[in-house]
Every structure is written in structure tokens, then in C-alpha cells.
Amino acid sequence: MNEFRADLHCHTTCSDGSLSPKEIVRLAKQIGLSGLSITDHDTIEAYKLALPEANELGIELVPGVEFSAVYEEASVHILGYAFNISDPSINHFCQRHKQRREARNHAILERLAAHGMPLTIEEVLASSSYPSCSIGRPHIALAMVKKGYIDTVQNAFKIYIADGKPCFIRGDSFSVQETLHIIHQAKGLAVFAHPHLFKDMILFNNLLKLEFDGLECYYARYLPINNKRWEKIASKKNWLMTGGSDFHGDIKPAISLGTSWVNEETFRKLKQHFDKCNI
Ligand code: AMP
Ligand code: ZN
Ligand code: FE
Ligand code: FE
């Protein structure tokens, strides 16, 4: 019997991952995972697409999402877990994110055109295989590579579209507080994602005072010493200690599914929360 492992952070073609929801479940089975939560950017569509495959293969699935949010101009990613996927407010929130992304993508394309790299939205959409997915900078970067403007996705970010670069646009945004409220309204649990990426310690300490339910303590690129730091914070607050790989497939080839995970005890907490809130 394999040790129980659940990867709680990964992306599919519903946002900027390269595997479909079904394919990611198959991969999870292949590598011996027992549980999974798919956390696409700003969309919850993958869950219902992946569930039949998960049931067939005996992989336990918990609803997940990774919302982009802003706190005093700083970007924060918030993972939502075990929410009611039929909840109208979280579905409406995803629609609002879709509109936000459309306007922002348009503005980024205008910047790129002004830098001599015209791209149409159709060329960007052609970088995704799932028609209604959450389109963002990774798809734009792929289209730039395809059109021959740049050699790699990494360089497209590094030179043009990463935060603060000449073609970066933040666009409209939703606050951390509103995002926490929506996740809770949908009876979900809210987790502060990859805290190591957050560099402003004053803002970080203020963020820790908000109504999160957990901290992402385990992540593909953490050394054990980092885990201890996040575990200490989570334990003090009696928060969940979650973890996952942040697998994206081809777009971030260095990170494999299952390189970070949680044990059965943590996974059961999410599953039980989901079952309790969704009867
Ligand atoms: P967006 O949600 O449109 O702002 O795009 C953010 C996503 O782009 C992140 O979640 C990553 O998947 C990806 N990303 C951010 N920075 C980089 C980078 N330097 N290289 C490759 N991908 C990146
Ligand atoms: Zn991503
Ligand atoms: Fe993230
Ligand atoms: Fe992610």
C-alpha cells in the first residue's frame, strides 16, 4: 500500500496548465497520488470536468481554485478549497475575473503593439486548448514565442510582461478581503499561497491578521528549513498547513506533479469540511 499523498496545488488547461483536467487526474494516478485539488487561476471549471475520471480511477478530489488578489498594490494569490462548487457568489466572482482578464489582456496587447510586437487576441487564444479558459500572461508569452518575437516564455516575462516590466499591466483587481469573503460565502477554506514570494514583511504581517484558514507550508521549491518557518506561523494561528507542487506542465517544465504534497490527516480535514458543508 502506497503512502497517502495529496497534491493540493496544480493547474490545468482551464487556466495556464498544459494538461487537461482528465489528463492531470490520470497523471496523479500514474505517480501514485491518492488525493488531488486542482487550483486553476480564477476559475473553478476543472473540478466537474475531472470528477468522473477521479471517481473511476479512485483518486479523491477536493474543489480548489487560486484567486489573484491585491493588498495595497501587492499581488497575493489565495487558494480556496472545499467550497460548494454550485455557490452562485463564487461562480459570479469567477465571471468577474474573466471580464477583468479580458480587459487586461487587451491592454497588454496594446503595450506589446507599441513595442513593435503586434498580436491579435485570436493568436493568444490559439495558445490554449480549452475554449473558455482563464487567459493570462502565460498565454500571451506563448503567443509571443510562436510569433518569433522572443525565444522563451521565461524571457517574455523577464523582459516584457513580468510585474513592473514595460508591457506589464495590473488592470482592475479584487482585494484580498473581498476574495476571502467570497470563499467563505461559498463555505470554502482560504489559504495564503506560496508565502515565500511575498517580500514586504510589514504587509505580510498585516496580511496574517486577515481571515485566512491556512498557509501553504509545503511547496515544490521549499527547502525543509522554509517549511519550519511557515509551519510555525500556521501552528500559532491554528491554521491548516497545506502544500502542493504548483504544477503547470510544459509551461514550467522544472516542476513535476506530486513534488510537494500533504498527508492523509490534512487531506481528510479538507474532505470533511467539504462533506459537512455540502450535504
Ligand atoms: P496572470 O495570472 O495573467 O497575471 O499570470 C500569472 C501567471 O504567470 C503565474 O501564475 C505563473 O503561472 C506565470 N508566471 C509568472 N511569472 C512568470 C515567469 N517569470 N516565467 C514564467 N511564468 C510566469
Ligand atoms: Zn499559473
Ligand atoms: Fe500562484
Ligand atoms: Fe499556482
Q: Is the CB of 39 within 6 Å of ligand 1?
A: no
d(CA 37, CA 191): 13
Report pLDDT digits (tens) over 194-217. 999 998 999 999 999 999 999 999
Upper half-sphere CA count for residue 134 (Cβ side, 13 Å): 25
Looking at residue 194, its pLDDT comes to 96
Looking at residue 132, its pLDDT comes to 67
Q: Using the mean position of ligand 3's atoms as its centre, give its distance from the Cα of residue 72 in Å.
A: 18
Amino acid, single-letter form, for residue 243: G
Q: Using the predicted structure, report yes or no on whether residue 128 has a pLDDT greater than 90.
A: no
The grid coordinates of residue 237 equal: 494561528
Q: Is the CB of 136 within 6 Å of ligand 1?
A: yes
Report pLDDT digits (tens) over 212-251. 999 999 998 777 777 899 999 999 999 999 999 999 998 8
Amino acid, single-letter form, for residue 73: E
Q: Where are the beta strands (DSSP E) in 15-145?
A: 35-36, 60-61, 64-71, 74-81
Looking at residue 279, its pLDDT comes to 67
- For residue 81, the cross-strand partners are 64, 189
Substitution candidate for ligand 1 out of 13, 15, 40, 41 with most atoms within 8 A of CB:
41
Looking at residue 127, its pLDDT comes to 79
Q: Using the mean position of ligand 4's atoms as its centre, give its distance from the Cα of residue 116 in Å.
A: 30
Of the pLDDT bands very low, low, confident and very high (cuts 50, 70, 90), residue 191 is very high
Report pLDDT digits (tens) over 88-125. 999 999 999 999 999 999 999 999 999 999 999 999 99
Q: Is the CB of 154 within 6 Å of ligand 1?
A: yes
b/e per residue 73-108 (b: at least 16 CB within 10 A): eeebbbbbbbbbbebeebeebbeebeebbeebbeeb
Ligand 3 ion: Cβ-proximal residues, 5 Å cutoff: 77
Looking at residue 1, its pLDDT comes to 57
Give the residue, by CA position, lying nearest to ligand 1 atom 2: 136
Report pLDDT digits (tens) over 42-99. 999 999 999 999 999 999 999 999 999 999 989 999 999 999 999 999 999 999 999 9
Looking at residue 277, its pLDDT comes to 85
**206 CB-near residues (< 8 Å, 6+ apart):** 71
Mean pLDDT for the chain overall: 94
What's the predicted TM-score (pTM) here? 0.95
Q: Is the CB of 144 within 6 Å of ligand 1?
A: no
